[in-house]
């Protein structure tokens, strides 16, 4: 069994939902290296994409750039069926066979497993302590099937995962073993704070934030995965094209590290930030130079997000550390397209 990373350009990977395919610009097809097409589902142990209606359009756009790789993403937050599908040799084979069949039928170049998360029912899905080993066995089964069809076609098919950026993900998996079957680990270094915390903070910061008691950052996540046995050249750093929002924040200082009446469960896309929030309508933009992260505060509401400046630092970090590249959630959330343009400029034009 094998996996291989592909050199030349650094990765710029966009997650793109099926319903947003019409928003994909032809010029961005030339700037992106990978598109993670979201999401196929697991139903009765089989991988299905019957609800995906715009793959034909994706393939039309893909034809414009022979180097663009498209990957079918399976799962997503709250998507169940993984624990059951991974539980036995027979169920793992069924999952792998149907995933690869879906990939081949729709001209994808690989598979991205977005199981959130092995050994966890946080998203309201079934889980088992056996997920830890079964996750590895499932990836091995998929890799074996991909290699089999790859030998027949003379092509290498990718197998990637989306990984939570905290210790919880490492505790529920065997990444030192699992990584051997993978081309890339898409590290979700966003939503690192928000949904479950009522203290404000950055949700997609590169480095530790000023005054942070928790020490949550993209850099720490990368270091944790490397220490867990994942080669740094397989790691893809995550970026967010949306913000997390805390309301009812204590009006002190710039609002950072302050108690709020809500968690950061609300979101705003980057388009909305540009139109109504960044230095508008009473909001002031601040910059945390330690974290390399922007944020907004108006005395009551705190907003954490990525922008062109923070993405520039992420690109620099990726190059300095030898990571595979960057991925982001989600392409249609920035209709100004300035973030994609900045990533292309910083990642593959310097």
Catalytic residues: 116
Q: Within 10 A of 285 (CB to CB), how many other CB atoms are there?
A: 17
Which residues sit opposite 235 in a β-bridge? 185
Token look-up 């027979």 returns 90
DSSP-derived secondary structure letter, 108: -
Q: Which two tokens stand for residue 132?
A: 């830890």
Q: Which two tokens stand for residue 83?
A: 């624990």
Is residue 233 within 8 Å of residue 222, measured between CB atoms? no
Among 59, 94, 52, which residue's Cα sits nearest to residue 73? Answer: 52
- Give the 3-state DSSP-derived string for 275-314, with helices as H, strands as E and coil as C: HHCCCCCCCEEEEECCCCEEEEECCCCEEECCCHHHHHHH
Q: What is the DSSP string of 166-225?
A: SHHHHHTS-HHHHGGG-SEEEEE-SSSSSTT-SB---SS-SSPPTT-SS---HHHHHHHH
Token look-up 């040799």 returns 89
Is residue 183 within 8 Å of residue 3, measured between CB atoms? yes
């Amino acid at each position: 069994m094998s996996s291989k990373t592909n050199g030349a350009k650094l990765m710029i990977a966009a997650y793109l939902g099926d319903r947003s395919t019409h928003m994909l610009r032809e010029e961005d097809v030339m700037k992106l290296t990978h598109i993670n097409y979201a999401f196929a589902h697991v139903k009765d142990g089989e991988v299905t994409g019957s609800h995906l209606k715009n793959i034909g359009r994706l393939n039309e756009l893909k034809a414009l750039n022979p180097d663009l790789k498209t990957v079918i993403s399976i799962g997503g937050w709250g998507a169940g069926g993984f624990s059951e599908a991974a539980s036995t040799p027979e169920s793992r084979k069924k999952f792998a066979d149907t995933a690869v069949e879906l990939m081949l039928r729709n001209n994808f170049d690989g598979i991205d497993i977005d199981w959130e998360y092995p050994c966890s029912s946080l998203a309201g899905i079934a889980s088992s302590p056996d997920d830890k080993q079964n996750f590895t066995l499932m990836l091995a089964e998929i890799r074996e099937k991909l290699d089999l069809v790859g030998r027949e076609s003379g092509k290498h098919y990718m197998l990637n995962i989306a990984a939570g950026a905290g210790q919880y993900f490492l505790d529920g998996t065997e990444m030192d073993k699992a990584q051997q079957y993978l081309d890339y680990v898409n590290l979700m270094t966003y939503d690192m704070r928000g949904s479950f915390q009522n203290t404000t903070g950055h949700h997609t910061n590169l480095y530790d934030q000023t005054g942070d008691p928790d020490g949550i950052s993209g850099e720490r996540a990368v270091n944790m995965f490397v220490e867990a046995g994942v080669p740094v050249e397989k790691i893809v750093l995550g970026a967010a094209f949306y913000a997390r929002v805390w309301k009812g924040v204590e009006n002190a200082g710039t609002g950072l590290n302050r108690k709020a009446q809500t968690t950061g469960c609300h979101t705003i896309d980057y388009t909305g930030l540009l139109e109504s929030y960044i230095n508008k309508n009473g909001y002031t933009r601040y910059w945390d130079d330690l974290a390399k992260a922007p944020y907004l505060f108006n005395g009551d509401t705190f907003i954490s997000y990525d922008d062109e400046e923070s993405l520039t630092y992420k690109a620099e970090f990726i190059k300095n550390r030898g990571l595979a590249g960057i991925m982001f959630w989600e392409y249609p959330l920035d209709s100004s397209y300035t973030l994609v343009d900045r990533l292309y400029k910083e990642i593959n034009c310097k």
